[in-house]
Amino acid sequence: MNTVTRLTKTAPAAPVVQEVSPARPASLGRALAAAGGALTAASTLVAWTWTPAFPGDLTVNGWPGGLQVLTLASGLLTVLAALGAYGVRGFRWAVPAGATTALRLFALGGLAVTWFAVGAISWTLGGSINVEPGGWFAAAASVVPVVGAFLLPQDPRVPLKPRQLPSWAELLLIAAAAGAGLLVFTYGIGTEGELFAGFLITAGFAAAGLAKAGLLARLTGLTARHRTTASAATLVAAIAFPFTGSDETYMSVGVNILIFATVALGLNVVVGLAGLLDLGYVAFLGVGAYTAALVSGASASALGIHLPFWAAVLAGGLVSMLFGLLIGAPTLRVRGDYLAIVTLGFGEIFRIAVNNLDGKSGPNITGGPGGIPNIPDLSLFGFDFGATHVIAGVPLGRFANYFLLMLLVTAVVVVVFQRVGESRTGRAWVAIREDETAATAMGINSFKLKLIAFALGAALAGVAGTVQAHVSYAVVPDPYQFAGAVPPNSAFLLAAVVLGGTGTVAGPLIGAALLYLIPMKLQFMQDYQLMAFGIALILLMRFRPDGLVADRRKRMNDEAAGATA
């Protein structure tokens, strides 16, 4: 018997491959982010340059100054988000919607403002030789958290459900948020040039990071549950602004921001709620200002009468409303681009008319190009707004007094906007904005409601114009045009509404503040302001098409339409 032996060739052993756990790069990323954020914050305690000639004095060791404060804030936010990503007990609340995207934004904010500071030092002082080793250390340290943040995996689709807090804790959080907002605004309004540019960079990345972390949504939910407390806290924070030690220069900026914001909120009734494109809205502000100048006892007034302030406010609002009705009645039957052209024509007609009512080309009513000067300061219940008053040991000058008065006017306009927007008329405006044909088919009188929106928006602008006339001491026709170098004008008002968020309360207020501050603060970029403004518009439309503050109702409708499709 033959035995057959079968030889089997043994295959070579496969090389052993050690799989890398996905947790390892994640752990490395969290470690780099936390350490890099701490190093970035610590780098602000050493000098970045040798001379105090650069704004903010970055020559001090042991204490941050100028742009170092912004780098410190970005570093601390990065550390906070990194600890939340680690799941450290007591820090998970900082990133309820996920840590990765928020951490990346905080880290990029620190990188951007730090490298901007190094570049600004080199450009302003004439070369990178003026950057001290501490500045280069800060620039290198700011890269580390960015690398670590991009090693982290994407956030899970289901965000962490925040733990329910007791009512007293929620109220404290609302008060703390109002105080933080006051602190940020006071710091920003007190910066100039390079410092303000760095402030914009830091604030932009920080706001985006807080939104992605879910904290802004959490705060929005708290304010919705405690609306009265949130409104009161915001008002108290705004009232406290004149008591922060800001001088009269910053108070004048604050007054003009409130005037600009109030007029933008009135335009939001027309554009945001009713969907009417008005390109001559600033003319209603001029109507209110000229009316107040004529009836408030100005030496150059053609009427020669002096009404009390409450009567001047009513006169300015009523005359502006009358103009809104007169202009709106024959023009609101057209839509879209045609309506925009008609309103643009009205704005130009108003400016040309007040220029010609000078006693030569027409009757002497408005003073022509010279306007109506010498408008006296207000006196309300014996309180002279032009004098300095000491309240709680703090001297409040003329602009501080007018700031508090304009704050009251703004609060009234906000209440009117909220009440009208939530009323039956407001819901009808939204229906007309979304689809006028469908709204008309459902029995809504679109012409009547559009005319009411036009008249109400004009009245709100006229009320703001009465205060502006007294603040500026004189009324001239130059500011009341479609576009110009200095707001408010129709183009900037419309941009404030669109950029801030149509149909919202906070959107136009934020948009107006930014559009007023940016041209005034960035004088060193005067030749490039329009280019920077265009770039900002493109970026905003790409990443925030609904504006800085999105309309919740519109967003819910869009989501519902997308789900149906």
Residue with tokens 């965000």: 159
pLDDT of residue 78: 93
Q: Which residue has the higher pLDDT, 170 or 332?
A: 170
Domain total of the chain:
2
Contact status, residue 109 vs residue 35, Cβ threshold 8 Å = no
Mean pLDDT, the chain, whole residue set: 83
Specify whether 451 is located in the same domain as 418: yes
pLDDT of residue 76: 93
pLDDT of residue 558: 55
The tokens describing 470, both together, are 């007294």
Closest CA to 351 of 335, 333, 366, 334: 366
* Helix axes 193-213 and 167-189, enclosed angle (nearest 10): 160
On whether residue 323 sits in a domain, the answer given is yes
On whether residue 558 sits in a domain, the answer given is no
Distance CA 258, CA 117 (A): 31
Specify whether 529 is located in the same domain as 421: yes
pLDDT tens, residue by residue, 381-424: 778 888 888 887 788 888 888 899 899 989 988 888 888 888 88
Specify whether 59 is located in the same domain as 174: yes
Distance CA 226, CA 346 (A): 43
Closest CA to 517 of 240, 254, 286: 254
pLDDT of residue 370: 81
pLDDT of residue 496: 86
Residue with tokens 């799989």: 19
Specify whether 457 is located in the same domain as 324: yes
On whether residue 442 sits in a domain, the answer given is yes
Query: Quick one: pLDDT band at residue 48, thresholds 50, 70, 90?
Result: very high
Please check the confidence at residue 518 and state whether its pLDDT lies above 60.
yes
Q: Give the Å distances, CA to CA, from 277 to 339, 386, 419.
A: 7, 38, 22
DSSP string, 533-554: HHHHHHHHHHH-TT-SS--HHH
Please check the confidence at residue 244 and state whether its pLDDT lies above 90.
no
Specify whether 304 is located in the same domain as 338: yes
Specify whether 312 is located in the same domain as 188: no
On whether residue 63 sits in a domain, the answer given is yes
pLDDT of residue 168: 84
Distance CA 536, CA 538 (A): 5
On whether residue 4 sits in a domain, the answer given is no
On whether residue 242 sits in a domain, the answer given is no
203, 235, 267 - which closes a domain: 235
pLDDT of residue 135: 93
Closest CA to 452 of 265, 286, 276: 276
* Helix axes 133-150 and 100-125, enclosed angle (nearest 10): 160
Specify whether 341 is located in the same domain as 408: yes
The tokens describing 6, both together, are 């079968």
Specify whether 151 is located in the same domain as 268: no
The tokens describing 144, both together, are 């580390």
Radius of gyration for the chain, computed over Cα atoms and rounded to the nearest angstrom: 29
On whether residue 164 sits in a domain, the answer given is yes
Q: Which residue has the higher pLDDT, 530 or 341?
A: 341
As beta bridge partners, residue 212 has: none
Residues above pLDDT 70, as percent of the chain: 88
pLDDT of residue 1: 41
Specify whether 299 is located in the same domain as 401: yes
What does the chain come to in residues? 565
Residues above pLDDT 90, as percent of the chain: 18
pLDDT of residue 362: 73
H/E element, 33: helix 23-42
Distance CA 273, CA 430 (A): 5
Query: Quick one: pLDDT band at residue 111, thresholds 50, 70, 90?
Result: very high
Least confident of 41-55, 150-164, 387-401: 150-164
pLDDT tens, residue by residue, 187-226: 988 888 889 989 999 999 999 999 888 888 888 888 888 8
Specify whether 274 is located in the same domain as 160: no
CA 284, 289, 295, 300 torsion-angle sign = negative
Cis peptide before 376 (omega within 30 of 0): no
Contact status, residue 148 vs residue 106, Cβ threshold 8 Å = no
235, 263, 287 - which closes a domain: 235
Please check the confidence at residue 42 and state whether its pLDDT lies above 90.
yes
pTM for this predicted structure: 0.84
Specify whether 212 is located in the same domain as 317: no
Specify whether 152 is located in the same domain as 74: yes
Domain membership of residue 527 as a residue range: 254-552
188, 204, 235 - which closes a domain: 235
For 276-308, b/e burial (b = at least 16 CB within 10 A) is bbbbbbbbbbbbbbbbbbbbbbbebbeeeeebe
Please check the confidence at residue 560 and state whether its pLDDT lies above 60.
no
Contact status, residue 508 vs residue 548, Cβ threshold 8 Å = no
Query: Quick one: pLDDT band at residue 335, thresholds 50, 70, 90?
Result: confident
Distance CA 433, CA 554 (A): 11
Distance CA 420, CA 412 (A): 12
The tokens describing 224, both together, are 């919705």
The tokens describing 14, both together, are 């496969």
Distance CA 80, CA 93 (A): 10
Q: Which residue has the higher pLDDT, 83 or 533?
A: 83
- Provide φ and ψ at 346, rounded to 5°: -60, -40
Closest CA to 266 of 115, 463, 119: 463
On whether residue 559 sits in a domain, the answer given is no
Average pLDDT rounded to a whole number, residues 127-152: 92
pLDDT of residue 12: 47
Please check the confidence at residue 8 and state whether its pLDDT lies above 50.
no
